[in-house]
Chain A
C-alpha cells in the first residue's frame, strides 16, 4: 500500500466514525465533517468547470482557433459574461436574455425528450403488451404474461384515475368526486402504496449496501494495523 492510499484510508476511517456519531446527537465534529465535504465538493466542481469546460471549450478555441471558430466562441463568451451580471443587482437585467435562452432551450429539450422518449413509447409499450406475437414470444406461460399485462394495464389506468381531482363542490364541504371514480382511484391508491413500498425497499437496500461497504472499509483499516 502506497503512502497516499494509507493516508486516504486513515482519513476516511476517522471521517466515517465522526459521521456515524450523528446517531447519538448532532455535534460539532459532525458539522465540521459536513463543512469539509461541502467545501471540497464545491472546490472540486469549480476546478472541473475550469479545466474540463471553460478552458478546452472557450479559452483554447479563442486563443488558438480559426477565425470562424473565434466568431462562434464570441457568442457564448458574451452570453456568459451577461449571465454573470446576475450577481450585481443594478445590472442584473442584462443577464435575462441569456437566462431566457437557457430556460427556453432546456425546457424544449426536456419536454421533447419526455414526450418522445417516455410518454409515447410507454403508451406504445402498454398497447404492445397485449400483442399476440409478444404474448406468444414471452418467456413465461402465455396466460401468465396475459395476467401480467392486465395487471400493468389496470395499475396504469387506476393510478392515473387517482390523480383526477375534478368533482362537485359545495359551500363549506370538501370537493367530492363521482362514486365510480372514487372506487377506481381507491384501487389506484393500492397500486401507489405498493409502488412506494417497492421504492422504499430499494432505497433501504441501496443504503444498506453503502453501509456494508463503509463498515467493510473500517474493518479493513483496523485489520491492516493489527496484522503484522
Chain B
C-alpha cells in the first residue's frame, strides 16, 4: 500500500488518508466538488503557460455544459480571447492614448507605484481568464488560493517612537516598579541605649515632680485671667430660664476623659444649679456611659441629686456620623425613639415639645476631636436658629474651633477650652472643682516640659556649635 509523508511532521501515512494521523495536517491539497479532470483543467487555466490548442479542446468540452446563449456567443469567435475583450488589447497597443484620458492634475496626484501597477495590469493581462465560462473576464477571484503569489510581507519597524522626555518618564516608572518588586529585609532597629536611658530619665523626672506636687503640695500657680469666651459662656448659661431642656453631647473618648471631665464639670454644675433638664446624647458608642459616669461624679462633687427621668435623660448613641447627626437635628424623636434605659423619653413633660434640636434652650457639645466639633457646627448649627451652641473642648481641639467662635457672625456662641478655661469658670462662681484641684500640678507639669524643651534646644545648639567648631579646626578636619 502506497504511503504519503506528512510535510508538517514527517510521519508516513496511508495514501488514502486526507489528514496526517500524527499532527492532523492536510496531506493532500484541498479538493473542490468536481472531478479531478476538471480540477486539473482549472489549474491549468490559471497557469500562464497554458497551450492554446489545449485550451480550445477543453473549452469545447465545457461548451457542452454551457447554456445556449453563451455557447452561441462563444461560437462566433475562434477563441475566447477574441470574444470581446479588445479594450485591454487596445489599451495595450495604445497605452499613451489610455493614459491621456486622465486629467493632468489627477495624474500628478497618482503615486508612482500605483501607476506602475496599473501599467503592469494592462500590459501583462495577468488577471485575464483565457478559457472556460469566465474567459475574457479580468479581475476574477481564483477558485483556489493562488499560492505562488503569496509573498513575505515587507519587514516593518516595530521600534516605538518616543521622545527623550517620555523615555525619562519610562525610566522613572521602571525604577519605581523595580523598587516595589525588590525585597527589603526588615531591619530591626536597635534602640540606642542612650535613647532608652533618656526616655526613662525624662519619665522619672515627670513622675517624681507630679507625685511630689500631689502629695506634698508646694508651688502654687496663679489662676488664669478671665477670658472673654468663658465670660460669654457663663452669661449664656445664666441667661436661659430655669428648668428648660438643654442638650448635652458627651462626645469624647475615655482616653481623654481625665481632661474632658474636668473641663465639662463646671459647665454641668451651672446647668444643674439652674435646674435645667439635661438630655445627654453622643455620636460615639462609649459616650452615653461617659455621660452617666460624669453626672454621678458631679452629683458627688457638688452635692446634687440629679436623678434619671426627673432631671435628666440619657438618649444614648446617635449612629451614622454626620448623617445621623443631621437626622437627629431635624427630628430627634425619629433618630432616637428610646433612651438608654429603653423608655420613650419624648413623653416626658420637659421633652414633649421637642420636635427639632432648635427647641432645646441650649446645646452644649463636649469633645476632644476637632472633626466631631466641626460636624456639630456644620450639621446642627444651621438648624439651631436662635438657640445658642456652646463648645467645651480639649486643649488639642481648641485652636481649630476658635475661628468659628471669633468669626462674625459667630458660629459658636460660647467656648470653654482646656483646663485653664475650666479653672476660670470655677473662679467665676467661687467653686473648687476637679480642674482647680489639678491646676497647680498641671501647671508644674507644663512648666517642667517647657524647661526640658528649652534645655534640650540649648544643649542641641551647643552640641551642633561644638561639632561645627571641631570640624572647622585643623585638628578636626584632619580627623
Q: Mark B395-408, 1 if CB is under 8 A from A, else 0.
A: 11111100110111
B337 nearest CB neighbor, chain A only:
A56
Residues of B within 8 A of A213 (CB): 258-259, 261-262, 434, 438
| Cβ 8 A contact of B285, one of A45, A122, A211 | A45
| Cβ 8 A contact of A56, one of B286, B338, B375, B400 | B338
Q: Known contacts A114-B378, A131-B408: does B258 contact A212 (CB below 8 Å)?
A: yes
Residues of A within 8 A of B259 (CB): 206, 209-210, 213
Residues of A within 8 A of B288 (CB): 48, 52
The answer, yes or no, to whether B165 is at the interface (CB within 8 Å) is yes
Taking a contact as CB atoms under 8 Å apart, the answer to whether A205 and B446 are in contact is yes
CA A75 to CA B201, docked complex, whole Å: 60
A53 nearest CB neighbor, chain B only:
B319
The answer, yes or no, to whether A49 is at the interface (CB within 8 Å) is yes
B453 nearest CB neighbor, chain A only:
A204
The answer, yes or no, to whether A216 is at the interface (CB within 8 Å) is yes
**Residues of A100-153 whose CB lies within 8 A of B:** 105-106, 109-110, 113-114, 116-118, 121-122, 124-126, 128-129, 131, 134, 139
A196 nearest CB neighbor, chain B only:
B399
The answer, yes or no, to whether A23 is at the interface (CB within 8 Å) is yes
| Cβ 8 A contact of B322, one of A51, A109, A209, A211 | A109
Q: Known contacts A113-B378, A202-B418: does B441 contact A212 (CB below 8 Å)?
A: yes
The answer, yes or no, to whether A198 is at the interface (CB within 8 Å) is yes
**Residues of A61-101 whose CB lies within 8 A of B:** 61
Taking a contact as CB atoms under 8 Å apart, the answer to whether A212 and B285 are in contact is no
Q: How far is the CB of B316 from chain A (nearest CB, A)?
A: 4
| Cβ 8 A contact of B407, one of A25, A53, A128, A210 | A128
The answer, yes or no, to whether A195 is at the interface (CB within 8 Å) is yes
Q: Known contacts A44-B285, A110-B322, A215-B214: does B228 contact A198 (CB below 8 Å)?
A: no
The answer, yes or no, to whether A193 is at the interface (CB within 8 Å) is no
- Total residues of chain B contacting the partner, CB 8 A: 69
The answer, yes or no, to whether B164 is at the interface (CB within 8 Å) is yes
Residues of B within 8 A of A118 (CB): 374, 377-378
Q: Known contacts A117-B378, A195-B399: does B322 contact A214 (CB below 8 Å)?
A: no
| Cβ 8 A contact of A171, one of B164, B337, B404, B406 | B164
The answer, yes or no, to whether B326 is at the interface (CB within 8 Å) is yes
Q: How far is the CB of A195 from chain B (nearest CB, A)?
A: 7
CA A52 to CA B328, docked complex, whole Å: 14
Taking a contact as CB atoms under 8 Å apart, the answer to whether B441 and A121 are in contact is no
| Cβ 8 A contact of B323, one of A105, A201, A208 | A105
Q: How far is the CB of A43 from chain B (nearest CB, A)?
A: 11
The answer, yes or no, to whether B255 is at the interface (CB within 8 Å) is yes
Main secondary structure of the interface of A (DSSP, over half): helix
CA A169 to CA B403, docked complex, whole Å: 37
- Total residues of chain A contacting the partner, CB 8 A: 56
Residues of A within 8 A of B257 (CB): 210
Residues of A within 8 A of B381 (CB): 117
Taking a contact as CB atoms under 8 Å apart, the answer to whether A202 and B399 are in contact is yes
Residues of A within 8 A of B406 (CB): 125
Taking a contact as CB atoms under 8 Å apart, the answer to whether A113 and B285 are in contact is no
Most buried by B among A57, A106, A209: A209
Taking a contact as CB atoms under 8 Å apart, the answer to whether A202 and B398 are in contact is yes
CA A206 to CA B422, docked complex, whole Å: 13
The stretch from B89-97, B103-111, B203-211 touching chain A is: B203-211
Q: Known contacts A113-B378, A219-B211: does B258 contact A214 (CB below 8 Å)?
A: yes
A46 nearest CB neighbor, chain B only:
B285
Taking a contact as CB atoms under 8 Å apart, the answer to whether B396 and A206 are in contact is yes
Q: How far is the CB of A178 from chain B (nearest CB, A)?
A: 22
| Cβ 8 A contact of A106, one of B321, B342, B407, B446 | B321
Q: Mark B338-359, 1 if CB is under 8 A from A, else 0.
A: 1010100000000000000000
The answer, yes or no, to whether B117 is at the interface (CB within 8 Å) is no
Q: How far is the CB of A35 from chain B (nearest CB, A)?
A: 16
Q: How far is the CB of B163 from chain A (nearest CB, A)?
A: 10
Taking a contact as CB atoms under 8 Å apart, the answer to whether B396 and A202 are in contact is yes
Residues of B within 8 A of A49 (CB): 285, 319
CA A210 to CA B206, docked complex, whole Å: 13
CA A201 to CA B285, docked complex, whole Å: 28
The answer, yes or no, to whether B331 is at the interface (CB within 8 Å) is no
Residues of A within 8 A of B377 (CB): 117-118
Residues of B within 8 A of A206 (CB): 256, 259, 368, 394-396, 418
The answer, yes or no, to whether B248 is at the interface (CB within 8 Å) is no
Taking a contact as CB atoms under 8 Å apart, the answer to whether B337 and A57 are in contact is yes
Q: Known contacts A45-B285, A106-B321, A110-B322: does B165 contact A171 (CB below 8 Å)?
A: yes
Q: Known contacts A57-B337, A202-B398: does B374 contact A209 (CB below 8 Å)?
A: no
Taking a contact as CB atoms under 8 Å apart, the answer to whether B165 and A209 are in contact is no
Q: How far is the CB of A177 from chain B (nearest CB, A)?
A: 20
The answer, yes or no, to whether A60 is at the interface (CB within 8 Å) is yes
B368 nearest CB neighbor, chain A only:
A206
Q: How far is the CB of B367 from chain A (nearest CB, A)?
A: 12
CA A142 to CA B394, docked complex, whole Å: 31
Taking a contact as CB atoms under 8 Å apart, the answer to whether A211 and B214 are in contact is no
Taking a contact as CB atoms under 8 Å apart, the answer to whether A139 and B228 are in contact is yes
Residues of B within 8 A of A45 (CB): 285-286
The answer, yes or no, to whether A41 is at the interface (CB within 8 Å) is yes
The answer, yes or no, to whether A225 is at the interface (CB within 8 Å) is no
The answer, yes or no, to whether B74 is at the interface (CB within 8 Å) is no
The answer, yes or no, to whether B437 is at the interface (CB within 8 Å) is yes
Residues of B within 8 A of A212 (CB): 210, 258, 438, 441-442, 445
Known: A110-B322, A172-B168. 15 other contacts (CB 8 A): A48-B285, A48-B286, A53-B319, A56-B336, A56-B338, A106-B322, A113-B375, A113-B378, A113-B379, A122-B407, A171-B168, A209-B259, A212-B210, A215-B207, A215-B211
Can you identify 15 A-B contacts, CB atoms within 8 angstroms?
A23-B203, A45-B286, A52-B288, A56-B336, A61-B337, A109-B326, A110-B322, A139-B228, A199-B400, A205-B419, A208-B445, A212-B441, A215-B211, A216-B437, A219-B214
Q: Using CB atoms and an 8 Å cutoff, list the residues of chain A in contact with chain B.
A: 23-25, 41, 44-45, 48-49, 51-53, 55-57, 60-61, 105-106, 109-110, 113-114, 116-118, 121-122, 124-126, 128-129, 131, 134, 139, 171-172, 195, 198-199, 201-206, 208-216, 219
